[in-house]
Amino acid sequence: SQQGEEDPQALSIQEGENATMNCSYKTSINNLQWYRQNSGRGLVHLILIRSNEREKHSGRLRVTLDTSKKSSSLLITASRAADTASYFCATVASYGKLTFGQGTILTVHP
Amino acid sequence: EAGVAQSPRYKIIEKRQSVAFWCNPISGHATLYWYQQILGQGPKLLIQFQNNGVVDDSQLPKDRFSAERLKGVDSTLKIQPAKLEDSAVYLCASSHPPVETQYFGPGTRLLVL
C-alpha cells in the first residue's frame, strides 16, 4: 500500500527557479526519506530526516518535516535542467521498510 | 564501490510463462529488498531479507512469486506463472544497518504479453 501522497503530481519550471514538492503520510514514522528517479541513474537517495527533526539541508536541497500534520516538503533551490526527474518521498515505520508515495514529476526547462 | 547489480535489464514473456530475476547487492550489505514498480507509481516492497532470512514478505503474491537469498549474498526473484498485471520494473536494493539509506540497482523491466 502507498503511504505517502505527493503533491503536485507534476511540476514544470524554468531553470533557476525553486521547486517545492509536498508529501503527506498517514501513520507514525521513524524517518522520512526523499529519492530521485531518472532514466539515467535509476532511484537515488537524496536526504533523510528523522521524526525528531524539523528541517534538514543538503546542498541545494531543503527538507522540512511536520509530524503533527504528517507532512514533509522538499525544496530544490536554483533548479537545473539536470534536476528533471521523478521525486518520491518514502516513510520508514520500522525495521527499514520503505513505503513510497506516488511521486512528483519535475521538469526543468533550460 | 560497485553498486547493486541486476540482470537481465529487460525481459519480454507471454502470460503463464515463468521468469527469474537476479540481484547482487553491494558487498557487505546484510539487508536486501525486492520492489515492484508499476508505471506511474512508486515502488512497492515485495520482500525484505536480513542476511538469508525473510524479514517481511507481506506484500509478496506467494501463489506466483518466490524469492530466495542463498548464503546471504545474491538473490533471485521468480514469477511462475506470469500474469499481464506483472508488467513492471523490478528493483533490487540493499542496505547495511544501522545505515538506513537504501541503494538501488538499475532494475529489470518486465513486459508480459
pLDDT tens-digit readout, B69-79: 988 899 999 99
What is the rounded average pLDDT for all residues in chain A?
92
Best residue in B41, B100, B109 for a mutation probing chain A (most A CBs within 10 Å): B100
Instruction: Report the pLDDT value the prediction gives residue B1, as an integer from 0 to 100.
Output: 65
Minimum distance, in Å, between the CA of residue B48 and any CA atom of chain A: 8
Using DSSP, state whether B54 is helix, strand or coil: strand
Task: Tell me whether A40 touches chain B (CB under 8 Å).
Answer: no
Using DSSP, state whether B72 is helix, strand or coil: helix
- Please say if the pLDDT value at position A107 is more than 90: yes
- Neighboring chain A residues of B33 at a CB cutoff of 8 Å: 98
Which contacts (CB < 8 Å, 24+ apart) does range A40-44 have? A42/B91, A42/B104, A42/B105, A42/B106, A42/B107, A43/A88, A43/B43, A43/B91, A43/B93, A43/B104, A43/B107, A44/B104
- pLDDT tens digit string along B35-75? 999 999 999 999 999 988 999 999 999 999 999 998 889 99
Interface contact B97-A92, CB threshold 8 A: no
**Range A66-72 average pLDDT:** 96
- Please say if the pLDDT value at position A109 is more than 70: yes
Between CA A86 and CA B83 the distance in angstroms is: 27
Cell representation of residue A101: 508515495
Q: Of A53-62, A90-99, B73-82, where does mean pLDDT reach its minimum? A: A90-99
- pLDDT tens digit string along A2-35? 566 888 999 999 999 999 999 999 989 999 999 9
- pLDDT tens digit string along B75-96? 999 999 999 999 999 999 999 8
Q: Point out which residues pair with A13 in neighbouring strands.
A: A108
The nearest alpha carbon in chain A to B5 belongs to: A42
Contact A74, A87 (CB under 8 A): yes
Using DSSP, state whether A69 is helix, strand or coil: coil
Q: Point out which residues pair with B34 in neighbouring strands.
A: B47, B92
Residues 6+ apart with CB under 8 A from B79: B18, B19, B20, B64, B65, B86, B110
Interface contact B48-A95, CB threshold 8 A: yes
